[in-house]
Amino acid sequence: MQAKAKLYPKEAARLLREKPGVREAVTGATLHFEEGRKKAYGEIDAEALRERAKRVKDHLLTHLDHYLELAEKRLRENGVQVHWAEDPLDAHRILREVAVRHGVKRAVKAKSMLTEELGVNPLLESLGVEVFETDLGEYLIQLLGEPPSHIVGPAIHLALSDIQRLFHQRFGTPLDAPPEALAAVARKVLRDAFLTAELGISGANFLVAETGTLVLMENEGNIRLSTSLPKVHVAFVGIEKLLPRLADLALFLPLTARAATGQRLSTYVSLIQGPAKEGEEGPEEVHVVLVDHGRTALLHDPEAWEVLRCLRCGACLNACPVFRQTGGHPYGYVYSGPIGAVLDPGLLGLEEAYPLPYASTLCGACYEACPVKIPIPKLLLTWRHRAVERGLAPTWEKGAMRVFQMVMENPALYRLFSKALRGLPLPQHLLPLLRAWTEGRGPLKPSPRPFHELWKELEEEDGR
Amino acid sequence: MRVALFITCLADQFYAEAGVAAVRLLRALGVEVDFPKGQTCCGQPAFNAGHWNEARALAQRTIDIFQEYPYVVLPSGSCASMVKNHYPELLPGDGEALGLSEKVYELSQFLVRVLGVEKLGNGLQGKKVAYHHGCHALRELGVREEPLRLLQNAGAEVLPWEAAEECCGFGGLFSVKLPEVSLAMADRKLSTLPQADVLTSTDAGCLLHLSGRMGKQGKNLRVVPLATLLWEAYAG
């Protein structure tokens, strides 16, 4: 996917101005998810389980070479064809080869953020392959030609009326068709695709190294169909998505479901152990593409690597009051919200993603929600610090900070500033920084006298 | 007991009365209060925006000014957290930064945890209070119950508020770097505000932002820092 992260501040402002409905839809849906998570965390010793999950992931990441080798070995033993992709070009080459060899005309896709990252859909389309997103939300945004707005709920930014209008235009359903009727239409289209597609594409929630098992969580059943009906299944897996042991699933499946949607377990969990054997039904070929695309470099970054623990549950997006105002689109890349703000600079380079670490008030709700305790606020601060060190901060900000330091380091100057604040009325509308504040909140009104002046009287009061 | 008041720059300039209230309250509880000269800002705005050199210089100053005191009390959760949690990160290996970190308290936290005060008086009888949890007080300092308990024990009705623990959208420089998002967050927070007599919080920045926004929308609600209400709780 083409990154437009640089545009974040402008795009966020534009969205709030032009599409107020998005804010309403996203706030409603994320609050609902967030309520579910809080309730679901409340039923367990969330603190202890999050700590355990963090440790398992840290072990995995600090021994990643070993587990990748083990996973490859087990996958091959299971009859899976394993590929390695450094970057999207590698991934494209691998997929193109498979698609051409099998004369693929139709592909069904299970929702996957990694395939968004790699641009799998445009590639397949360029090969003349008809691609169907089969997750209902993902299907909607495919019809609209939009990227996902949320890691778990790709169409979270749409209101029912948006979908009614879309289906009216595409399928001629009435403008007031109820959700059930719309789902029935999508189901009919997608059922036909499942039965006729030669290729099924998925991501993976986890890949268990010990057993070479692909693990997929979902609620709609479309992933199970996408990975079992077509004769070929290609799964794209980020190298950080491994788990050491099968037994780890007992921790990670319920924890991820609770974090993501407040469920105790997702409705469907598929454990895929290779292609169909004699007498079984299922794909003849299963391919696993292990994708790096910047992850190894990030792993070797001593201050930023912790982001790789991420399970892509979206809990931090739901908890984030900044994300709630706009949804994911203004962030300009696949991964939005708090996790995007600390992952995208690592994957895209800080120059490309500069504004994203500033898309937060550092309120810390994301850290509280994260099932693997990624210290997102700390990582945000790290990326901000680096941005300043690399000279990416705008000139006005650098200037303002220098003046700020000068005034605050010098009590005499500070007192002078204090007097100026109460002296002649400040031309607040003329100073850009102040204007950004006053436009939405009115002029700043300092106390008649600052405390450091009042202190003298307080001292006397004490003496009395 | 001797305590240094760190007023913080924002409260000094915009909520001076809260400083007066804090001093009177602490004195009434038998605490000797000093106001060390030369104090200005803890450096948080620079630190949060990534300008660590500027922040480091201010942290160093603050440490020099306050290190001799056994306790440092701030009427601000956010600045207290800056000194407590971020000074040691900003100045790794600096013993004095760590030393100061251990002595820093937000006002209500100091009253409850150090002084063991549970009840200040009955001065808030019948008052309906909306309490905004400043994010850093809540999540970085762990100040959740202390202010509520002190308010309730003084007779205030702390109103249930759906978004009480939600960020107001201030975020220091965030409010001017992303003004539209910041305002949208304030509006969401305020849209759930219950019918209260007064809105309060540990943090001056949040209050400045929320009261400014309410003023702009023509809403008229008394907005005061927690220190002010706690003094009212004591003095009536």
Q: How many residues are present in chain B? A: 236
Chain B residues close to A379, C-beta within 8 Å: none
pLDDT band at A462 (very low <50, low <70, confident <90, very high): confident
> Is residue B169's pLDDT more than 70?
yes
Tell me what pLDDT residue A435 has. Answer: 85
**CB within 8 Å: A401 and B7:** no
Hey, what amino acid is at A386?
A: R
Tell me what pLDDT residue A423 has. Answer: 80
Q: Residue B209 is nearest to which of A357, A398, A441, comparing CB atoms?
A: A441
The answer to whether the CB of A360 falls within 8 A of the CB of B48 is no
**CB within 8 Å: A450 and B16:** yes
B231 touches chain A (CB under 8 A): no
Residue A446, classified by CB atoms within 10 Å of its CB into exposed (0-12), middle (13-18) or buried (19+), is: middle
pLDDT band at A2 (very low <50, low <70, confident <90, very high): confident
The torsion of the CA quartet A309, A313, A317, A318, rounded to 10 degrees, works out to -140
**CB within 8 Å: B135 and A361:** yes
* pLDDT (mean) for A138-154: 97
Tell me what pLDDT residue B124 has. Answer: 98
Average pLDDT over all residues of chain A? 96
**CB within 8 Å: A458 and B136:** no
> Is residue A464's pLDDT more than 70?
no
Q: Residue B17 is nearest to which of A389, A447, A462, comparing CB atoms?
A: A447
**CB within 8 Å: B12 and A418:** yes
The answer to whether the CB of B67 falls within 8 A of the CB of B99 is yes
> Is residue A426's pLDDT more than 70?
no
* pLDDT (mean) for A405-426: 89
Q: What angle do CA A178, A180, A183 make, to 5 degrees?
A: 115
Task: State the residue for tokens 């469920």.
Answer: A263
A458 touches chain B (CB under 8 A): yes
**CB within 8 Å: B176 and A433:** yes
B173 touches chain A (CB under 8 A): yes
Residues A222-241 pLDDT 10s:
999 999 999 999 999 999 99
Chain B residues close to A454, C-beta within 8 Å: 16, 19-20
> Is residue A74's pLDDT more than 80?
yes
Tell me what pLDDT residue A432 has. Answer: 73
Q: List C-alpha distances in Å: A376 to A79, A307, A341, B63.
A: 39, 8, 9, 27
Measure the CA–CA gap between A295 and A346, rounded to whole angstroms.
8
> Is residue A429's pLDDT more than 70?
no
Two tokens, residue A388:
């300043």
Residues A377-399 pLDDT 10s:
999 999 999 999 999 999 999 99
* pLDDT (mean) for B118-139: 98
Q: Residue A447 is nearest to which of B15, B57, B180, comparing CB atoms?
A: B15
Measure the CA–CA gap between A371 and A159, rounded to whole angstroms.
29
Chain B residues close to A324, C-beta within 8 Å: 188
Measure the CA–CA gap between B227 and A62, rounded to whole angstroms.
48
DSSP for A310-372, written as a single string: -----HHHHH-TTHHHH-SGGG-SSS-HHHHHHHHHHHH-HHHHTTGGGS-----HHHHH-TT
Phi, psi of A426 (to 5 degrees): -70, 140
Q: Among residues 275-334 of chain A, which lie with CB inside 8 Å of chain B?
A: 321-322, 324-326
Helix runs in A241-335, H state only: 249-261, 295-299, 315-319, 323-326
**CB within 8 Å: A454 and B58:** no
Rg (CA), chain B: 17
Two tokens, residue A447:
């106390």
Tell me what pLDDT residue A424 has. Answer: 65
The pTM for the full model equals 0.97
Residues B203-217 pLDDT 10s:
999 999 999 999 999
Helix, strand, coil shares of chain B, percent, nearest 5, are 50, 10, 35
Q: What angle do CA B10, A400, A322 make, to 5 degrees?
A: 65
- What is the number of alpha carbons within 13 Å of residue B23 lying toward its C-beta? 25
Q: Residue B181 is nearest to which of A326, A387, A454, comparing CB atoms?
A: A326
Beta-sheet pairing, B2-5 with A130-133: unpaired
Chain B residues close to A442, C-beta within 8 Å: 212, 215-216
Residues A189-207 pLDDT 10s:
999 999 999 999 999 999 9
* pLDDT (mean) for A210-220: 98
* pLDDT (mean) for A366-376: 98
Measure the CA–CA gap between A428 and A439, rounded to whole angstroms.
10
Task: State the residue for tokens 């292609």.
Answer: A275
Q: How many residues are present in chain A? A: 464
Considering only CA atoms, which of A273, A200, A289 is closest in space to residue A238?
A289
Residue B152: count of CB within 10 angstroms of its CB: 17
> Is residue B30's pLDDT more than 90?
yes
Chain B residues close to A446, C-beta within 8 Å: 13-14
Average pLDDT over all residues of chain B? 97
Residues A329-339 pLDDT 10s:
999 999 999 99
